[in-house]
Amino acid sequence: MSEDHLNKAIHTLKERFGLREAEIQKYPPALLVPAEQVIAVCQTLNDEFGFNFLSDLTASDYYPEQEPRFHAVYNLYSHEHNTRICLRVPLNGDSPTLPTVEVIYYNANWHERELYDMFGFDITGHSDLRRILMPADWEGHPLRKDYPLGYEEPQFTFNYDDIDRRKHKARYEEA
């Protein structure tokens, strides 16, 4: 692990983009990045500091908090320097929007589709924004905290009226 390299990268990003460190993240070291700077920050990390590998892209929902309601979490890795860095992007509850980074890291494509599917993020500029794990006609975004767990009949039993009734009950009365 090259600590110096990581510190230099963090220092440069803080100076250039005015970023703060995210205290919640214990490992790897994380920076809070506004959504509009994500591409520029990723580009800098990729071009200047060799973070050439998007290891993970996910999100966390802090419902009922609204500002910010979500954090998108990018985990980047540098093969050359063997270091990891994390970017946390706070997003609002009413219209969570992220720019796509699939031009820099090709594998972001499916991760971003998963965010769209599971959290309902709008990914601007994405080449193929469809649901990935849930069926194409699914309603709602399952990993949001206000999405109920349970009371869902298996979808392919064709008891649609029953499912709709229970879904409604679960979503509006018990959630």
Partner 1 sequence: MSETYEVTLEELKHLVSERALSGETVLLNMGPQHPSTHGVLRLLLELDGEVIVNCVPDIGFLHTGIEKNMEAKTYEKAAVMTDRLDYLNTIGNVLAYSLAIERLAELDVPPRAQAIRVILVELQRIASHLVWLGTHALDLAAMSVFLYCFREREAILDILEMCSGQRMMTTFFRPGGLWRDVPADFELAVRRFLRSFPARIDMYHALLTKNPIFMDRTRNIGRINAEDAIRWGLTGPSLRGSGPSNDIRKTQPYSGYEQYDFEVPTGTNGDVYDRYLVRMEELRQSLRIIQQALDMLPVGPVRSNNRKYVPPPRAELGTSMEAVIHHFKLWTEGFELPKGAIYSPVESPRGELGVYLESDGGPFPQRVHWRTPSFVHLQALPVLSKGHLVADLVGIIGSVDIVLGDADR
Q: Which of 38, 86, 91, 101 binds partner 1 (CB under 8 A)?
A: 86
Binding mask 143-172 for partner 1 (x = CB under 8 A): x---x-x----------x--xx--------
C-beta closer to partner 1: residue 19 or 117:
117
The Cα–Cα gap between 71 and 86 comes to 12
User: Strands 70-78 and 30-32: what pairing?
Assistant: unpaired
C-beta closer to partner 1: residue 95 or 136:
136
- Is residue 24 a contact residue for partner 1 (CB under 8 A)? yes
C-alpha distances in Å from residue 85, one per residue of 34, 51, 82? 16, 8, 10
C-beta closer to partner 1: residue 16 or 63:
63
| String of DSSP letters for 55-82 | EEEEEEE-TT--TT-EEEEEEEEETTTT
- Is residue 28 a contact residue for partner 1 (CB under 8 A)? yes
Binding mask 98-127 for partner 1 (x = CB under 8 A): -------xxx-xx----------------x
In one-letter notation, the amino acid at residue 3 is E
C-beta closer to partner 1: residue 12 or 50:
50
- Is residue 137 a contact residue for partner 1 (CB under 8 A)? yes
Angle in degrees, CA 58, 123, 52, rounded to 5: 55
Instruction: State the first-to-last Cα distance of the chain, in angstroms, to the nearest integer.
Output: 45
Give contact residues for partner 1 (rule: CB under 8 A). 1, 24-28, 30, 52-56, 58, 60-61, 73, 75, 79, 82, 84, 86, 105-107, 109-110, 127-128, 130-137, 139, 142-143, 147, 149, 160, 163-164
